[in-house]
Structure 1
Amino acid sequence: MKKMHYYLLLMIAMLVLGGCTEMNQTKTSDTTINTSEQTEQSIASATAEEQTEDGFSTLENNNPTQERIDYLLDKAMYYYWHGGDLKENEREVFAGLTLKGDQEVREELLKQVIRLDPVTTDYRRSLASTKVINNKLDEAVAIFKSVVEQEPENYQALVQYYVYAGLLEGSFDETVYKKMETLNKAQTEKFKDGFERIEAVRKQEVPTAIKEYEENHLFILLGYALDDEGQMQETLINRLEHALKLLEKNPTAKIIVTGGVPKKENTEAKLMHQWLIENGIDEKRIIQEALATDTIENALFSIDLANELDFSNKITVISSASHVRRGKVLFETADRIINGQLHPQGKPKYEIDIIGEPDNEELIKTSTEQERLVLYRDLLRIEGIWQYPNLQR
């Protein structure tokens, strides 16, 4: 009897415990659901993101300041590479230069960054650089001047002010140059050499004639942006046809084809390589440089690649006549940087000349003020003064 009573009490206890467990499980489950919903709502509230057509998400003002700045800068760089219609500006202002983005949109994005942080001068310099590209030189100079007034020891801003004010006014300020020498004499000497080379190449007519070179010559062919379908545009095909004639005339010569902006799984270098092979050039004579995204990287990466090749140490840069003067200045500078600075007791290794595909009769004979502006701008960039500090050379 006692044993039956014991078992009965045990069964009742188990039933009670089971009911409590079920209630606890239900409570736990309900709590989990509520917590999950609250978490999703918190995340949605915290991020407050809304997808836009360009693939970015908009951030509300309750995001931390640096997050909003980074977002705006990222979007500005997106427009640098993927922006809208610049063909008119490209044709009329920068002949031979492939512009990378919607400048007006980028100006507005950078203005928003400056509203958030009006103290950091790198952002103002970025805005000024955009105005240079957008042919608003007077506005750019005013911004560079304000940066120099705020930071008199900012060497890079001082160089930018010296160059762009000089181009705007038609003469360079000797007082500003002496200040540059005081801050960094060695680098200022390099700039002086570059400025002199710019003015010298501007006085020269661009050679276009097909001719024979010494044995084992090296040609470097500069690419041009592919179209939206990842195919070569007329400008690049014209350059290739000129290069083909040179290679046929010089059967021992090699050629580096340089250009690495990807479009539809193609690069300029890849398509140039294919085109030359299809037109009878031995594949062993062609070297691809498929990383460069602009003329500065064409120069830096191609000179570095040339150091690995066996050739006569004489290089001819091939491009459109409207573009190739810039090629000469940048390739000579890249040679000095890579072979004259980065190696102990180094010095420039190569004799560099140019040949232009005759795309523009006017620019074959004379250099315009627009070309002069781009020559100076890109010299600053290759010497380490980035258009968009810490973002884009």
Structure 2
Amino acid sequence: MKDIRKKLGIALVVTMTTVTFATAYGAATAPVRAAAVENIHVNPIRNDEPTYQRINQYKELAMYYYWHGGDIQQSEKDIFKGITLKGKYDVVENAFKEATLLDPLDLNLKFSLASTQIIQKKVPEALQTYKQILNLDPNNFNANLLYGVYSKASGDDAAYKASVAKLKQIDVQKTNMYLQKLEQTEKIFNEKLITTAPANVQSKNHAIVILGYALADDGTMKEPLIERLKTGLAVANKYPNSKIIVTGGVPKQGITEADAMSKWLISQGINKDRIILENKSTDTVENGLFSTAILEKEGLKDVTVVTSASHIRRALAVFKEADHFYSKMNGKAGKRNFTNAVYLDYKSLEEAQQVSKDEKLVIYRDLLRTSGIWQYPELQR
């Protein structure tokens, strides 16, 4: 056991003998993320420290809770006195609220606050935060775009149209590009979900991409991941010449999702030479971006995305946007063909085909993240 105390005010007790890291969030090395955090000590933020240091403390706290969670009651007692916290994202939200009070001119802090409100589906609060940004910077493209898209997701078409009109005044070419992205994504809402191996897939240059799911603390796979693998196995057996990409990089007990998935497929008779591990991604957006880099490298043109029915539309939106980016970056006109195969985590296929307002919200959110608009500017994609 080693007590690791952060100079900026966050102290962590983890079950490790050696740890190296730059910060408590994104720059942390894999061992820190993989560590079993037993306790989190949050030192009160003092008013006799420089402003930048107090802001950094709140940012550190926010990003740590975003990744790991922690002792909510302790945060109430030591940091957010008089505020009742209901979960880890309450800590993240209130940390950014406090940071924005310390520097109300920093728009990135407001973007981060709005993103946390979106994660919690507090759309009216997020829209109000974006409105504050727009009051300060009316021509901010990202703020106008986010305000418009989330207004659209909540059913406010008038606000969406007004945002589009403003965006076209700012940058008509960029606006039209995003309108095309939204149009393509909205077609995915009507995507027919396939619960078996898809038919008529080109067997040459075809890839099966199986998306990961968080492992249990002991490194074992949970039911949704096993069911995704079973679906992927059926596709792999139907198309024996296709490569298989397993994507997921968050480690538990030193095992990534991709590691566990690969071992399971091999145990079911899949030749290990067919399997490509993508073991760096931490969420759906990174699943798409990092797997697409592999598709490019391997020259794989057709893709069957395998995941849960509740996740497939978001995954397809991300993969198609990632494909668009790589095609543009590499100066190629052609786009990949995407099919799907899903583990049905609904009572019926008819229910699975319905797209809720909440699902649209997260689909739009991850589309925008994949396009390059970070949730937490300079901190977390």
For the pair shown, the structure with the greater C-alpha radius of gyration is 1
Residue in 2 that maps onto 1:297: 286
The amino acid across from 1:355 in the alignment is: A
- TM-superposed deviation, 1:297: 0.8
Equivalents in 1 of 2:197, 2:235: separation in Å?
A: 6
Equivalents in 1 of 2:323, 2:378: separation in Å?
A: 24
- TM-superposed deviation, 1:51: 4.3
Asked whether 1:191 is paired with 2:178, we answer: yes
1:104 alignment partner, one of 85, 90, 94: 90
Superposed counterparts of 1:241-280, under 5 Å: 241-280=230-269
- TM-superposed deviation, 1:153: 1.4
Per-residue Cα deviation, 1:326-356 (whole angstroms, up to 9, x for no partner): 111111110110122x12x322441122221
Aligned-residue sequence identity (percent) comes to 37
Distance 1:376 1:265, change over 3 A: same
Equivalents in 2 of 1:48, 1:187: separation in Å?
A: 40
Conserved? CA contact 2:9–2:45, under 8 Å: yes
More helix as a share of residues: 1
Equivalents in 2 of 1:204, 1:349: separation in Å?
A: 18
Distance 1:315 1:67, change over 3 A: same
- TM-superposed deviation, 1:275: 0.6
Conserved? CA contact 1:230–1:263, under 8 Å: yes
Equivalents in 1 of 2:48, 2:62: separation in Å?
A: 21
Equivalents in 1 of 2:377, 2:10: separation in Å?
A: 29
Q: Which moved more, 1:363-372 or 1:256-265?
A: 363-372
SS in 2 for 1:308: helix
Asked whether 1:135 is paired with 2:121, we answer: yes
Residue in 1 that maps onto 2:369: 381
Equivalents in 1 of 2:156, 2:44: separation in Å?
A: 43
Q: Which moved more, 1:234-243 or 1:186-195?
A: 186-195
- TM-superposed deviation, 1:58: 4.3
- TM-superposed deviation, 1:251: 1.2
Superposed counterparts of 1:76-87, under 5 Å: 76-83=62-69
Equivalents in 2 of 1:144, 1:81: separation in Å?
A: 24
SS in 1 for 2:305: strand
Distance 1:357 1:167, change over 3 A: same
Q: Give the aligned length.
A: 330
Equivalents in 1 of 2:8, 2:372: separation in Å?
A: 38
Q: Which moved more, 1:148-157 or 1:199-208?
A: 199-208
Equivalents in 2 of 1:197, 1:209: separation in Å?
A: 24
The amino acid across from 1:201 in the alignment is: I
The amino acid across from 2:146 in the alignment is: Q
SS in 2 for 1:129: helix
Conserved? CA contact 1:220–1:257, under 8 Å: yes
Q: Which moved more, 1:164-173 or 1:59-68?
A: 164-173
Q: Which moved more, 1:257-266 or 1:347-356?
A: 347-356
Conserved? CA contact 1:205–1:366, under 8 Å: no
Equivalents in 1 of 2:169, 2:345: separation in Å?
A: 43
Per-residue Cα deviation, 1:271-299 (whole angstroms, up to 9, x for no partner): 00111001110001100000011111111
SS in 1 for 2:245: strand
Asked whether 1:318 is paired with 2:289, we answer: no
- TM-superposed deviation, 1:232: 1.1
CA RMSD of aligned residues (A): 2.1
Equivalents in 1 of 2:155, 2:244: separation in Å?
A: 41
Equivalents in 2 of 1:63, 1:310: separation in Å?
A: 54
Conserved? CA contact 1:110–1:127, under 8 Å: yes
- TM-superposed deviation, 1:50: 7.9
Equivalents in 2 of 1:383, 1:321: separation in Å?
A: 23
Equivalents in 1 of 2:173, 2:42: separation in Å?
A: 43
Equivalents in 1 of 2:242, 2:8: separation in Å?
A: 59
The amino acid across from 1:258 in the alignment is: T
Residue in 2 that maps onto 1:113: 99
The amino acid across from 2:365 in the alignment is: R
Superposed counterparts of 1:301-380, under 5 Å: 301-311=290-300, 313-340=301-328, 342-343=329-330, 345-360=331-346, 361=348, 363-380=351-368
Distance 1:280 1:55, change over 3 A: farther
Conserved? CA contact 1:321–1:363, under 8 Å: no
2:229 alignment partner, one of 228, 240, 246: 240
Per-residue Cα deviation, 1:354-385 (whole angstroms, up to 9, x for no partner): 22111123552211111111111111111111
- TM-superposed deviation, 1:68: 1.0
SS in 1 for 2:341: strand
- TM-superposed deviation, 1:56: 5.1
Equivalents in 1 of 2:10, 2:326: separation in Å?
A: 46
Equivalents in 2 of 1:147, 1:385: separation in Å?
A: 15
